[in-house]
C-alpha cells in the first residue's frame, strides 16, 4: 500500500501542471468528510481510496506552477520524503539526546551564519513566522522588564510600546496581544511612498512616547512586506534601535531568505544587525509545510526567557536525558516534531546556490510581469515591483473607483474558479488590487503571459455594473 501511495504521489507531482490550479470542494464531498467517528476498522486500501477521491483532488493549489495567491511555498519531493522519514522516526525534538536534536542544531547554525549572527546566538524551528514573531516579542519583553516578568507578569510596570509600519503583517499585533502587552501598545506608523517603514518616523514616535512616560522596547522591520513585497531600510532602523537602546526585530517571513539571491542581498543590508529574525523555510526555500524559524542574537537571554526544569524533565550528563540545552528551553512547547529533517534534506540536496538561483528567477519573473502590466493599457500597476509581488488592477473604463474595486475582486474569484491560475486580493492605498506572488520554482515565463490573457478573457464576461 505504501509503495502504491508513493508511486501515485510522484505521478501526481510530475503531472501537476495538468491539474487545475484550484477547484472548489463539491458539496457531496464536504458531506462525506463530515462522517461520524469510525467505531470499527476499515481496510487501509479503502481509506486510501477515500483520500484519493475526496481529499487529493482539492489541494490549496500552491504546488501548481500558476498558484500566485498569498505567499505559499511549492514544496519539493525530497522534502516530502523527509517528512515521511521523520514520521517513521516519530521523534520528539523538545529535548533529550538523539539524532533529530543534532539535525535541528545544524540547521539553526547554518542560518545563524547565513544571516551574520555572532557566536552565542540561538534559534529554534517553529510552526511558522507567526509563532517565531511571538517568541521574539516575548524575548524582547524579557530584555525590557527583566526575568521577573515570568513570575510577576505585567502588573504595576510602565507600559511597553513597540513600533511597526502599516505594512507589517497582522501576526505582529497578535503577538503583542498574546504577550499581554495589548495591540494598542504596537504603534502602527504610516509607510513611505515605497510602502516601507520610515526610520525617522519611528525615531519621532519613540521620542514622543518617552516624553509621555512610556517605555519603548521594540522596533519591527520587514524583509518583504506581505502586500507588495517591500524591503524596509533595515540599516536605518538598526541605527535607530541602537541609538535608542531598543530591540530590533526583523519579520523576514519570506524575504529574509532572499539573501541567497545576489540581486537582492544588498537590499537586505542591516539584517545582520537584528536582535532577532523570524522567517519561514516553507515559503521561498520550498520546504513542505510547516517549518518556520526564529533566530536570536543573545542566546542566553533567549534561553532564560523560556527555560524551566521541573523534576520530570531532569537533565543528566549522560544517557537519553543529556544533550543540554534542550530545544524546549527556547520555545513554548515541549512536544515538537522533527521539522528540521525536511529543511536538512532540501538544503543538502539542492545547495544554497541553487536555492538562491530559484529565488533570483522568481524576482526576475515578477519584474517581467510588472513590465508587461505597465505596457498594457488594460491594466494599471498599483505599486513598484521591489521583490516578487506584483499588485495591479484591470482598468474597466467607465467604472467609478468603488465599482472598479468590486469588479477586480470578482475577477480574482473568477480566475480562481476557472482553475487556470490563483491570485489573491489586497488593498494598495485606497484601491483594491489583483495581487500576484511568485514563490514557485515550477513557474515558467509563459505562465505569466497565460495569466494576463486569462484575466482579460474573464473580464470580458463579467458584467460592468
Kindly report the average pLDDT of the chain as a whole number.
Answer: 96
Residue 80, pLDDT > 90, answer yes
Each residue of 221-238: pLDDT tens digit?
A: 999 999 999 999 999 999
Radius of gyration of the chain (CA): 24
pLDDT at 282: 98
pLDDT at 156: 76
Residue ranges with strand state E in 318-388: 379-381
Distance CA 323, CA 96 (A): 6
Residue 464, pLDDT > 80, answer no
* CATH code for the part of the protein at 92-336: 3.40.640.10
Collapsed DSSP state (helix, strand, coil) of residue 305: helix
Bridge partners (DSSP) of residue 219 are 163, 248
Each residue of 102-159: pLDDT tens digit?
A: 999 999 999 999 999 999 999 999 999 999 999 999 999 999 999 999 999 988 778 9
Between 465 and 380, the higher pLDDT residue = 380
> pLDDT band at residue 305, thresholds of 50, 70 and 90?
very high
Residue ranges per domain, the chain? 2-59, 92-336, 355-460
Bridge partners (DSSP) of residue 160 are 215
Closest alpha carbon to 168 in 259, 230, 245: 230
Q: 246-267 b/e with 16+ CB inside 10 Å = b?
A: bbbbbbbbbbbbbbbbeebeeb
CATH classification of 355-460, choosing from 3.30.70.2190, 1.10.10.10, 3.90.1150.170, 1.10.3720.10?
3.90.1150.170
Q: Is residue 292 within a helix (H) or strand (E), and if so which, with residue range? A: strand 292-296
Each residue of 174-187: pLDDT tens digit?
A: 999 999 999 999 99
Closest alpha carbon to 440 in 226, 254, 232, 222: 254
- The answer to whether 143 touches 217, Cβ cutoff 8 Å, is yes
Which ranges in 179-261 belong to alpha helices (H)? 199-211, 234-244
pLDDT at 33: 97
Residue ranges with strand state E in 365-417: 379-381, 389-394
Phi/psi-derived region of residue 248, left when phi > 0, alpha when psi is between -120 and 50, beta in every other case: beta
Backbone angles phi, psi at 277, to 5 degrees: -135, 135
Please, which residues have CB within 8 angstroms of residue 239's CB and are 6 or more apart in sequence?
199
What CA–CA distances, in Å, run from 364 to 228, 361, 385, 439?
15, 5, 10, 11
Each residue of 420-433: pLDDT tens digit?
A: 999 999 999 999 99
- The answer to whether 329 touches 306, Cβ cutoff 8 Å, is yes
Residue 465, pLDDT > 80, answer no
Distance CA 247, CA 138 (A): 11
Backbone angles phi, psi at 332, to 5 degrees: -95, -10
- Give the cell for residue 51: 483520500
Amino acid at each position: 500500500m505504501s509503495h502504491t501511495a508513493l508511486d501515485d504521489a510522484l505521478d501526481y507531482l510530475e503531472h501537476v501542471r495538468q491539474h487545475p490550479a484550484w477547484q472548489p470542494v463539491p458539496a457531496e464531498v464536504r458531506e462525506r468528510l463530515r462522517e461520524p467517528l469510525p467505531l470499527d476498522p476499515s481496510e487501509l486500501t479503502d481509506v486510501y481510496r477515500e483520500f484519493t477521491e475526496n481529499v487529493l483532488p482539492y489541494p490549496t493549489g500552491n504546488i501548481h506552477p500558476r498558484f500566485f495567491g498569498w505567499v505559499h511555498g511549492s514544496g519539493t519531493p525530497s522534502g516530502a520524503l523527509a517528512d515521511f522519514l521523520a514520521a517513521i522516526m516519530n521523534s520528539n525534538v523538545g529535548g533529550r539526546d538523539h539524532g533529530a536534536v543534532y539535525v535541528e542544531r545544524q540547521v539553526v547554525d547554518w542560518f545563524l551564519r547565513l544571516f551574520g549572527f555572532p557566536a552565542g546566538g540561538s534559534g529554534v524551528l517553529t510552526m511558522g513566522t507567526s509563532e517565531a514573531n511571538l517568541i521574539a516579542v516575548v524575548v524582547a519583553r524579557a530584555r525590557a522588564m527583566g526575568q521577573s516578568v515570568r513570575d510577576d507578569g505585567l502588573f504595576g510596570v510602565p507600559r511597553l510600546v513597540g513600533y511597526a509600519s502599516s505594512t507589517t503583517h497582522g501576526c505582529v499585533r497578535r503577538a503583542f496581544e498574546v504577550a499581554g502587552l495589548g495591540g494598542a501598545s504596537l504603534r502602527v506608523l504610516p509607510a513611505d511612498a515605497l510602502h516601507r517603514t520610515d526610520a525617522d518616523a519611528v525615531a519621532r514616535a519613540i521620542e514622543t512616547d518617552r516624553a509621555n512616560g512610556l517605555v519603548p522596547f521594540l522596533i519591527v522591520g520587514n524583509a518583504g512586506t506581505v502586500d507588495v513585497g517591500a524591503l524596509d531600510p533595515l540599516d536605518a532602523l538598526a541605527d535607530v534601535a541602537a541609538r535608542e537602546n531598543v530591540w530590533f526585530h526583523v519579520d523576514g517571513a519570506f524575504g529574509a531568505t532572499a539573501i541567497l539571491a545576489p540581486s537582492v542581498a544588498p537590499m537586505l543590508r542591516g539584517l545582520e544587525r537584528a536582535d532577532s529574525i523570524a522567517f519561514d523555510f516553507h515559503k521561498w526555500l520550498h520546504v513542505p509545510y510547516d517549518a518556520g524559524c526564529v533566530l536570536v542574537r543573545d542566546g542566553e537571554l533567549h534561553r532564560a526567557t523560556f527555560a524551566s526544569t521541573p523534576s520530570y524533565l531532569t537533565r543528566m550528563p549522560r544517557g537519553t536525558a543529556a544533550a543540554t540545552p534542550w530545544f524546549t528551553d527556547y520555545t513554548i512547547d515541549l512536544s515538537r516534531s522533527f521539522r528540521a529533517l525536511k529543511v536538512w534534506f532540501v538544503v543538502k540536496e539542492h545547495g544554497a546556490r541553487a536555492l538562491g538561483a530559484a529565488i533570483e528567477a522568481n524576482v526576475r519573473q515578477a519584474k517581467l510581469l510588472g513590465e508587461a502590466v505597465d505596457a498594457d493599457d488594460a491594466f494599471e500597476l498599483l505599486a513598484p515591483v521591489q521583490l516578487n509581488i506584483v499588485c495591479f488592477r484591470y482598468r474597466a473604463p467607465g467604472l467609478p473607483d468603488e465599482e472598479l474595486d468590486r469588479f477586480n475582486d470578482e475577477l480574482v474569484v473568477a480566475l480562481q474558479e476557472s482553475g487556470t491560475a490563483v491570485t489573491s486580493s489586497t488593498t494598495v492605498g485606497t484601491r483594491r488590487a489583483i495581487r500576484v506572488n511568485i514563490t514557485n520554482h515550477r513557474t515558467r515565463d509563459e505562465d505569466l503571459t497565460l495569466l494576463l490573457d486569462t484575466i482579460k478573457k474573464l473580464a470580458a464576461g463579467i458584467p460592468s455594473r
